Amino acid sequence: MMTTALQQAFAAELDAAQDNWRQGRLDAAFTHLENAHVLGQRRLGWHFHVHLWMLRVGWAKRDQREILGQLWRLFLTPLGHLTGRLPIGNTGGANVNAFTPMPVRKELEEVLRGEGMESKSDNGLGD
Protein backbone atom coordinates (compact mmCIF):
# COMPACT_ATOMS: atom_id res chain seq x y z
CA MET A 1 0.00 0.00 0.00
CA MET A 2 1.30 3.40 -0.99
CA THR A 3 1.70 6.08 1.64
CA THR A 4 0.40 9.58 1.21
CA ALA A 5 3.88 10.83 2.15
CA LEU A 6 5.41 9.00 -0.82
CA GLN A 7 2.73 10.27 -3.20
CA GLN A 8 3.20 13.82 -1.96
CA ALA A 9 6.99 13.70 -2.06
CA PHE A 10 7.00 12.24 -5.58
CA ALA A 11 4.45 14.79 -6.82
CA ALA A 12 6.40 17.65 -5.23
CA GLU A 13 9.63 16.60 -6.96
CA LEU A 14 7.90 16.15 -10.31
CA ASP A 15 6.10 19.50 -9.95
CA ALA A 16 9.40 21.22 -9.10
CA ALA A 17 11.04 19.59 -12.12
CA GLN A 18 8.25 20.77 -14.41
CA ASP A 19 8.31 24.30 -12.95
CA ASN A 20 12.07 24.50 -13.52
CA TRP A 21 11.59 23.08 -17.02
CA ARG A 22 9.08 25.81 -17.88
CA GLN A 23 11.51 28.44 -16.60
CA GLY A 24 14.38 27.04 -18.66
CA ARG A 25 16.35 25.84 -15.64
CA LEU A 26 17.12 22.44 -17.07
CA ASP A 27 19.85 21.43 -14.63
CA ALA A 28 17.58 22.19 -11.67
CA ALA A 29 14.74 20.33 -13.38
CA PHE A 30 16.99 17.30 -13.81
CA THR A 31 18.00 17.34 -10.14
CA HIS A 32 14.34 17.16 -9.14
CA LEU A 33 13.81 14.37 -11.66
CA GLU A 34 16.64 12.41 -10.04
CA ASN A 35 14.88 12.76 -6.68
CA ALA A 36 11.57 11.72 -8.26
CA HIS A 37 13.35 8.73 -9.79
CA VAL A 38 14.61 7.54 -6.42
CA LEU A 39 11.14 7.95 -4.90
CA GLY A 40 9.19 6.48 -7.81
CA GLN A 41 11.36 3.72 -9.19
CA ARG A 42 9.30 0.98 -7.49
CA ARG A 43 6.13 2.09 -9.32
CA LEU A 44 6.30 1.27 -13.04
CA GLY A 45 4.17 4.18 -14.21
CA TRP A 46 6.03 6.73 -12.10
CA HIS A 47 9.40 5.26 -13.04
CA PHE A 48 8.67 5.31 -16.76
CA HIS A 49 7.23 8.84 -16.56
CA VAL A 50 10.39 10.16 -14.87
CA HIS A 51 12.57 8.63 -17.60
CA LEU A 52 10.39 10.26 -20.27
CA TRP A 53 10.96 13.60 -18.56
CA MET A 54 14.69 12.92 -18.28
CA LEU A 55 14.70 12.21 -22.02
CA ARG A 56 12.86 15.48 -22.60
CA VAL A 57 15.46 17.43 -20.61
CA GLY A 58 18.30 15.64 -22.41
CA TRP A 59 16.70 16.52 -25.73
CA ALA A 60 16.30 20.18 -24.75
CA LYS A 61 19.98 20.29 -23.73
CA ARG A 62 20.97 18.49 -26.95
CA ASP A 63 22.87 16.05 -24.74
CA GLN A 64 23.37 12.95 -26.88
CA ARG A 65 24.67 10.88 -23.98
CA GLU A 66 21.55 11.64 -21.93
CA ILE A 67 19.23 11.02 -24.87
CA LEU A 68 20.76 7.62 -25.61
CA GLY A 69 20.97 6.79 -21.90
CA GLN A 70 17.30 7.58 -21.38
CA LEU A 71 16.21 5.60 -24.42
CA TRP A 72 18.15 2.63 -23.00
CA ARG A 73 16.56 3.13 -19.57
CA LEU A 74 13.07 3.38 -21.07
CA PHE A 75 13.74 -0.05 -22.58
CA LEU A 76 15.15 -1.45 -19.32
CA THR A 77 12.49 -0.08 -16.97
CA PRO A 78 9.75 -2.63 -17.75
CA LEU A 79 12.30 -5.47 -17.61
CA GLY A 80 13.50 -4.30 -14.21
CA HIS A 81 9.94 -4.28 -12.95
CA LEU A 82 9.16 -7.69 -14.39
CA THR A 83 12.19 -9.22 -12.71
CA GLY A 84 11.88 -7.14 -9.53
CA ARG A 85 15.51 -6.13 -9.88
CA LEU A 86 15.86 -2.37 -9.44
CA PRO A 87 18.99 -0.87 -7.86
CA ILE A 88 17.74 1.21 -4.92
CA GLY A 89 18.86 4.81 -4.83
CA ASN A 90 19.95 4.94 -8.46
CA THR A 91 19.26 8.48 -9.66
CA GLY A 92 18.41 7.41 -13.21
CA GLY A 93 20.54 9.76 -15.29
CA ALA A 94 22.96 8.70 -18.00
CA ASN A 95 25.78 9.94 -15.78
CA VAL A 96 25.39 6.82 -13.59
CA ASN A 97 25.42 3.13 -14.43
CA ALA A 98 21.84 1.88 -14.82
CA PHE A 99 22.60 -1.20 -12.71
CA THR A 100 24.38 0.46 -9.77
CA PRO A 101 22.64 0.91 -6.41
CA MET A 102 23.42 4.25 -4.80
CA PRO A 103 23.09 5.78 -1.35
CA VAL A 104 19.74 7.45 -0.77
CA ARG A 105 19.70 11.05 0.46
CA LYS A 106 18.48 11.25 4.05
CA GLU A 107 15.23 13.12 3.32
CA LEU A 108 14.31 10.68 0.55
CA GLU A 109 15.27 7.70 2.70
CA GLU A 110 12.85 8.85 5.41
CA VAL A 111 9.98 8.88 2.90
CA LEU A 112 10.96 5.46 1.53
CA ARG A 113 11.32 4.01 5.01
CA GLY A 114 7.76 5.11 5.70
CA GLU A 115 6.83 3.11 2.61
CA GLY A 116 8.53 0.02 4.06
CA MET A 117 11.38 0.14 1.54
CA GLU A 118 14.92 -0.33 2.67
CA SER A 119 17.62 1.90 1.27
CA LYS A 120 19.95 -1.07 0.98
CA SER A 121 20.77 -1.89 -2.58
CA ASP A 122 19.42 -4.60 -4.82
CA ASN A 123 21.54 -5.40 -7.79
CA GLY A 124 19.62 -5.75 -10.96
CA LEU A 125 18.11 -4.62 -14.16
CA GLY A 126 16.67 -1.24 -14.84
CA ASP A 127 17.25 1.69 -12.64
One digit per residue, pLDDT tens: the chain, 127 residues?
A: 456 899 999 999 999 999 999 999 999 999 999 999 999 999 999 999 999 999 999 999 999 999 999 999 999 999 999 998 899 999 999 999 999 999 999 989 999 987 766 544 443 334 4
Give the burial class of 35: count Cβ atoms within 10 A of its Cβ; 0-12 exposed, 13-18 middle, 19 or more buried.
Answer: buried
The alpha carbon of 69 is separated from its chain's Cα centroid by a whole number of angstroms, namely 13
The answer as to whether 27 is a domain residue is yes
Query: Distance (Å, rounded) from C-alpha 73 to C-alpha 35?
Result: 16
The answer as to whether 73 is a domain residue is yes
The predicted structure's pLDDT at residue 124: 39
Question: What's the number of domains the chain is made of?
Answer: 1
Q: Around Cβ 72, how many Cβ atoms within 10 Å? A: 14
In terms of residue numbers, what domain contains 76?
4-114
The answer as to whether 126 is a domain residue is no
The answer as to whether 125 is a domain residue is no
The answer as to whether 65 is a domain residue is yes
The answer as to whether 105 is a domain residue is yes
